[in-house]
């Protein structure tokens, strides 16, 4: 028996990959997780740890970092092997199994693969406005790692999507003042969040954009402009948070011979890709009627894992039964 050969390797340690690891353990599979980030949790921990998640079943609201902590604890129940700070770069077939080669030159042998890479590698969409680059990380931010740093501050938030609106709602109770500008009159965020925003003390200015930021050694003011009249307004600010979305790329995954649709991997109803024994789940995959939610992704990865198990062992049931009927190892 090849001790280095795993039954299933999950690429991506976000919520979908974590639940996939748990479910693979439930199916008695020798499991490995590979992730390019230094910690598990994916976007929950890397991008918005202090943001509330409202659409996860069983949690009326939960901080992203707390949800990640619980999902990591759940995933570790069956002690999968975890390889962090390794980016999967090559996927090659060898006999009846796959070799995943990472940026560290390490080869990972596995019978099946489940790609749970979210939107792929993501970087914030940058704003090319005067002074922004000079103050980046020193008053201008593309995300919030610790919302306590904004306590008592005068904040300008730029954006019209869910992140911009959510951060405005999250931060106004602790900030001295919050101003939200958006280049359009209509917001892209969820209707309920926008309704809450309009009832909050947040000052909303549309259609305004950021022209420049200024300061002497520290950020002191932002100059915004009405994009129809070009009228400028100067705002005293201590911090600017830019929520302009992310540029995502599948990176090396695009070279693996997978059938792609845009920046996503095409799968069938069993989460199978066009490569044998390779599956995809979560935001990284697409099919007719696809809905990008964590709740959807964790269901998809269960389908992928169950089919992978049946592929490896045709005598295994496609559905093993409910976990409430099983005896599980204790949580640590």
DSSP-assigned letters across all residues of 244-311: --EEEE-GGGGGS---EETTEEE--TT-B-SSTTEEE-GGGEE-TT----HHHHHHHHHHHHHHHHHH
Q: What stretch of H or E contains 22?
A: helix 15-26
Distance (Å, whole) CA 73 – CA 22: 9
Instruction: Say which CATH topology domain 126-242 has.
Output: FAD/NAD(P)-binding domain (3.50.50)
Are the CB atoms for 86 and 100 separated by under 8 Å? no
Distance (Å, whole) CA 44 – CA 49: 5
What are residue 254's phi and psi, to 5 degrees?
-65, -20
Whether CATH 3.50.50.60 fits 5-122+246-325: yes
Whole-number pLDDT of residue 1: 44
Asked whether the domain spanning 126-242 has the same topology as the one spanning 5-122+246-325, the reply is: yes
Whole-number pLDDT of residue 224: 97
Tokens of 239: 């911090």
What are residue 265's phi and psi, to 5 degrees?
-95, 125
Whole-number pLDDT of residue 323: 67
* Residue 323 to residues 22, 25, 27, 68, 209, Cα–Cα distance (Å): 11, 11, 10, 21, 51
Chain mean position to CA 324: 29
Distance (Å, whole) CA 259 – CA 166: 35
* Residue 295 to residues 133, 189, 207, 265, 316, Cα–Cα distance (Å): 37, 19, 34, 19, 26
Give bridge partners of residue 82 from the DSSP assignment: 33
Other Cβ atoms less than 10 A from the Cβ of 162: the count is 17
Other Cβ atoms less than 10 A from the Cβ of 268: the count is 11
Tokens of 296: 């959807």
* Residue 181 to residues 132, 164, 203, 204, 226, Cα–Cα distance (Å): 16, 9, 8, 6, 10
Helix and strand counts by DSSP (H, E) for the chain: 7, 22
Distance (Å, whole) CA 29 – CA 219: 53
Distance (Å, whole) CA 238 – CA 141: 11
Distance (Å, whole) CA 13 – CA 181: 34
Q: What are the residue boundaries of the structural domains of the chain, listed by start? A: 5-122+246-325, 126-242
Distance (Å, whole) CA 114 – CA 116: 6
Whole-number pLDDT of residue 279: 98
Are the CB atoms for 150 and 172 separated by under 8 Å? no
Kindly list the averaged pLDDT for each block of 10 residues, start to end, along the chain of length 332: 85 96 96 92 82 89 93 96 94 95 95 90 83 94 87 97 90 97 93 94 97 95 97 97 83 94 94 98 96 95 97 84 69 74
Three-state SS for 10? strand
Tell which residue, 81, 77, 76, 100, has the closest CA to residue 30: 81
Tell which residue, 126, 155, 125, has the closest CA to residue 139: 155
């Amino acid at each position: 028996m090849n001790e280095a050969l795993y039954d299933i390797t999950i690429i991506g340690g976000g919520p979908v990959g974590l639940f996939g690891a748990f479910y693979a353990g439930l199916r008695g599979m020798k499991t490995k997780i590979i992730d390019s980030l230094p910690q598990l949790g994916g976007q929950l921990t890397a991008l918005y740890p202090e943001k509330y998640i409202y659409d996860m079943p069983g949690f009326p609201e939960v901080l992203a970092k707390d949800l990640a902590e619980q999902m990591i604890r759940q995933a570790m129940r069956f002690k999968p092997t975890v390889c962090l700070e390794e980016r999967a770069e090559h996927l090659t077939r060898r006999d009846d199994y796959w070799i995943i080669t990472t940026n560290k030159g390490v080869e990972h042998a596995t019978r099946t693969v489940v790609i749970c890479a979210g939107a792929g590698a993501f970087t914030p969409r940058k704003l090319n406005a005067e002074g922004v680059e000079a103050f980046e990380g020193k008053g201008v931010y593309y995300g919030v790692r610790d919302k306590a740093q904004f306590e008592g501050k005068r904040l300008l938030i730029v954006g019209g999507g869910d992140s911009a609106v959510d951060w405005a709602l999250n931060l106004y109770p602790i900030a001295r003042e919050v101003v939200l500008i958006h280049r359009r009159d209509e917001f892209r965020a969820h209707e309920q969040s926008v309704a809450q925003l309009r009832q909050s003390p947040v000052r909303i200015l549309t259609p305004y954009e950021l022209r420049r930021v200024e300061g002497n050694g520290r950020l002191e003011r932002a100059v915004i402009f009405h994009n129809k009249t070009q009228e400028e307004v100067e705002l005293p600010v201590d911090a600017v948070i830019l929520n302009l979305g992310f540029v995502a790329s599948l990176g090396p995954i695009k070279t693996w011979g997978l059938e792609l649709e845009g920046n996503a991997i095409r799968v069938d109803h069993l989460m199978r890709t066009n490569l044998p024994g390779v599956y995809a789940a979560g935001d990284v995959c697409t099919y007719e009627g696809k809905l990008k939610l964590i709740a959807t992704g964790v269901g998809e990865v269960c389908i992928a894992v169950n089919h992978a198990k049946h592929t490896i062992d045709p005598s295994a049931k496609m559905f093993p039964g409910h976990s409430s009927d099983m005896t599980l190892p204790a949580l640590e």
